[in-house]
Amino acid sequence: MSTRRAWQRIYVRRLIVTDSLVVMLAVTLAHVVRFGQGDLLVNAVVAEWNYVVISICLAAMWIAFLAAFRTRSRRVIGSGYDEYQRIVSATFRMFGLVAIIALVFRLEIARGYLAIAFPAGLLGLLLGRWVWRKVVAAERRRGQFQTSVLVVGGARSVRLMVETFERNSTDGYRVAGVCVPRYAGIQGDHLEVGGKRIPVYGDEYSIVDALGVSGADTVAVAATETLGPDGIRDLLWEMDPHDADLVVATGVVDVSAPRLDMRPVAGLPLIHVEKPSYHGAKRSGKRVFDLAFALTALLLLAPVFALVAVAVKLDSRGPVFYRSERIGLDGKPFGMIKFRSMVTGADRQVAALMTSNEGAGLLFKMREDPRVTKIGKVLRRFSIDELPQFLNVVRGEMSVVGPRPPLRREVENYDGRVQRRLLVRPGVTGLWQVSGRSDLSWDESVRLDLSYVENWSMVTDVLIIARTVKAVLASDGAY
């Protein structure tokens, strides 16, 4: 058995135990809370039944649905969104089936019982998977729970795939070697990628032999033109006796799974890529969410606003708020509102400090910026200075989640690709906020923003908001 299959089998067994315990605890809790006293029976039709038996049946059905919806498939375990989605779908459909059975057979199962079991079990299952994901991430940081990959393709495609795996190390893909056609960039028997030497185990005709030498348990084809359709089919046949998987890159990057649809045509699997949505009902729904969230935040944070205003005023002379021109939706400028964290006239000092710029690309950043006030350092560390941006959200100039709001001088230097950041409203937070903030390189910041623009959804927004709270409390990349 390969190392990957060994740890996956252990991990799945742990998930089975955890899921079973959560489900049993949920139905037990519902039973005790709802029927702790008195008669447990509700209707004459079920007079001979005991809710202990009903709880056992419900738990068994729940566990069966989790298995039927493949919530513990090795394709999704530890993946996050897909794993959670399958758990939610399995739970909703199981309770939907219970409701249908009760309706058809006229069983008056106590609603309070189901109202306790359903949320308690669902939250418990999601929490359990989240905890196990953290355990796996910790193991992977120590070099355990890895999938050993042999990457196949042209030099450029191989480099891109290796860099992607290295950048997302918590996904657990460790490149054991590569197979590439001959090219001038190879030095000896290694390929240099990001300062790391990757062993080269031959060309596209040496893949099966390279599996045994490299110890890889997965072959990742980075570019299909290297092998062609016949070559990939032949490779599948040759790999059949080996305990290894084959994965093929689609050739598109930063496109989320919901936008990809596999459609076989004349025996050829074609991947249909849905166009990103920037208008219509989806944008209207986002606007409603933004407005409700911002108004609620402003109401709850009113006491904080008052305290910060007093602190800013006492710390240095000048206004409480600071307006900075930013470029918003469709390239329209607006005044972004922040608590003032610098001395008055700080913008006029940028040119003099440019030689000390530590920002990436077009950004100006300094870890020890002399313009920042004493209270400003505290406000910036915990992103409190950005809270007034919820006023921009109410005014329709910003969104709660979106790309980083750019300066005019940044936009003037955008190329056609980066210009796509302006297709949606900039955000109070975003992928850039939860992925390192000021520590990000310019290219990585652009990539994250464009990825959000192309793939945004309400589910993604909620997840980013949750991650923002964690990033702010940890002060990751803030200065």
Domain boundaries of the chain, sorted by first residue = 3-141, 147-249, 281-474
> Which pLDDT band, with edges at 50, 70 and 90, does 366 fall under?
low
Give the model's pLDDT for residue 253.
67
> Which pLDDT band, with edges at 50, 70 and 90, does 136 fall under?
confident
Give the model's pLDDT for residue 39.
46
pLDDT tens for 55-106 read: 888 899 999 999 999 999 887 877 777 788 889 999 999 999 988 887 887 7
> Which pLDDT band, with edges at 50, 70 and 90, does 283 fall under?
confident
**Most trustworthy range by pLDDT among 262-266, 398-402, 460-464:** 398-402
pLDDT tens for 413-427 read: 887 778 888 888 999
**CATH number for the segment(s) 147-249:** 3.40.50.20
Model confidence at 185: pLDDT above 50: no
**Of residues 270 and 43, more confidently modeled:** 270
pLDDT tens for 306-350 read: 999 999 999 888 899 989 899 998 889 999 999 998 888 766 666
Percent with pLDDT over 90 in the chain: 24
Give the model's pLDDT for residue 41.
43
Exposure of 448 in the CB half-sphere (CA atoms within 13 A):
24
Model confidence at 24: pLDDT above 90: yes
Q: b/e per residue, 445-455, with b = 16+ CB within 10 A?
A: bbbbbbbbbbb
pLDDT tens for 211-256 read: 888 888 889 888 777 777 778 888 888 888 887 888 888 776 667 6
CB 87 within 8 A of CB 129: yes
CB 140 within 8 A of CB 168: no
**Most trustworthy range by pLDDT among 109-118, 268-277, 365-374:** 109-118
Q: Look up residue 413 and give its two tokens.
A: 């230097």
Give the model's pLDDT for residue 106.
76
β-bridge mates for residue 220, sequence order: 151, 247
pLDDT tens for 426-446 read: 999 988 778 765 566 777 778
For residues 375-385, average pLDDT: 87
For residues 188-215, average pLDDT: 82
Using the Cα atoms of residue 92, residue 97, residue 100 and residue 106 in order, give the sign of their dihedral. negative
Give the model's pLDDT for residue 354.
67
For residues 257-265, average pLDDT: 73
Single pTM value for the model: 0.66
